[in-house]
Amino acid sequence: MSATGGTKAILAALIANLGIAVTKFIAYLVSGSSSMLAESVHSLADSGNQVLLLVGGRRARRTATPEHPFGYGRERYIYAFVVSIVLFSVGGLFSLYEGWHKIQHPEELTNIWIPVVVLLVAIVLESFSLRTAVKESNLVRGNQSWVHFVRRSKAPELPVVLLEDLGALIGLVLALCGVGLAGLTGNGVWDGVGTIAIGVLLVVIAVVLAIETKSLLLGEGGSPDDVDKIRAALLSVDVIDHVLHMKTLYVGPDELLVAAKFAVGATESATVVARAIDDAEIRIREAVPVARFIYLEPDLRRSQVR
């Protein structure tokens, strides 16, 4: 995980969320707003999630061992999956409970201007955090749509931060609506409604993150574009005229395993085939730099096998 990429976005979100969490909690103590309490827990959960992503990125850089010969790259997927669980349980379920409690036992809010000011300032800060995540994502997103980027990105950090920041921004707007309506009408039920809306939002985001991260944990192959590039790199070697079959697998966000079997002529010497394999490995890595582990197996052309 590059210090100028995912890490930068995570640190920006962490700093913003820690400051926002403190101010939201103070606003809750002063006003008694359940929306502010839900939002403070939301920011606190997000801060913990960003710490988890940083820890996962650090642990993923450990050197490969005989027990884990392909390294620890998938630790980033594990920690991203834990993030979805934390967001679902700590953020979403707590907000749903608190909102329901507030609707059952509504209370009139006091010092309403304080949570409104805090929410407006938090919206500005979260906008800057989201802007950083968008800017860093654009460096690697290419021509993909945002939905495709979140669904297909092999590095989980940027999609996680993007969804968290977007959810935080929408949550702040929902909290502002709930607190504002409660203040205007004098009915604390609206504060509870806003809190429930925040809880539903967090649960939806957590489920999306869990589904996408689960797919990465199960193991995803290279993109169709990368597979085509690898196949073209193999066929560009003079000795190779046909790729019999090929499998790819991401063993980490930046580490692709390639296993392929290709056909050569029966008259080719072992020396020529060995050189062809070396040449093919070089060309594959030039075409797809994340191809770190390459295993190639030669076979005779089927027309020459009796």
Residues 22 and 152 in one domain: yes
Q: What pLDDT is attached to residue 256?
A: 94
| Averaged confidence pLDDT in the chain | 84
Residues 155 and 247 in one domain: no
Query: Which segments of the chain have a pLDDT < 50?
Result: 1-5, 304-306
Quote the CA–CA distance of 146 and 153 in Å, as a whole number.
10
- H/E element, 97: helix 94-104
Which pTM was predicted? 0.76
Name the residue range of residue 61's domain: 6-218
Residues 294 and 186 in one domain: no
Residues 35 and 157 in one domain: yes
Quote the CA–CA distance of 105 and 242 in Å, as a whole number.
72
Quote the CA–CA distance of 166 and 179 in Å, as a whole number.
20
Residues 150 and 245 in one domain: no
Residues 148 and 274 in one domain: no
**Secondary structure (3-state) at 236:** coil
Residues 6+ apart with CB under 8 A from 138: none
Residues 213 and 234 in one domain: no
Q: Last residue of some domain: 218, 246, 268?
A: 218
Instruction: Give per-residue pLDDT as tens, 26-82.
Output: 888 888 787 778 778 878 887 888 888 888 888 888 888 888 888 888 888 888 888
- Contact of 246 with 261, CB cutoff 8 Å: yes
